[in-house]
Structure 1
Amino acid sequence: MAVEGYIRFGLAIVILMMIAIILYRFNAGKSNRRQSSLEIMKERYEKGEITKEAYEKARKKQGK
């Protein structure tokens, strides 16, 4: 009986570690891809997709 308890405990630890690693990788990948709306507007302005007025309006709206 004691051996069975150690096996369950070990399996529980392994499963918890795997869940923690999966959550960490999921959150780390997500945070690297985020851009602020102002950065997106700046890229669109540089590509010529929006006018300077639209970019300036967005910048003023953000307070920058």
Structure 2
Amino acid sequence: MAHKHDFFLILMDVQMPGMDGFEAASLILEHPKTCHIPVIFITAFARDEAFEFKGISAAR
């Protein structure tokens, strides 16, 4: 979707079936057409520093 349409911001759930949000965000942010789009990670998981660091790593 992000490669076919223009988005100003992406709210990404980290807990998705199949591909998790971290992997999806990495694919979005590695593509030249979508690398400028800010990604905000959301989740229903309990607050855990491991998820915060994984989100930061996926966005680099």
TM-score strictly above 0.5: no
**Which structure has more helix as a fraction of its residues?**
1
**Which structure has more strand as a fraction of its residues?**
2
TM-score (structure 1 length as normaliser):
0.30
Higher RCO (CA 8 Å, separation ≥ 6 residues): 2
TM-score (structure 2 length as normaliser):
0.32
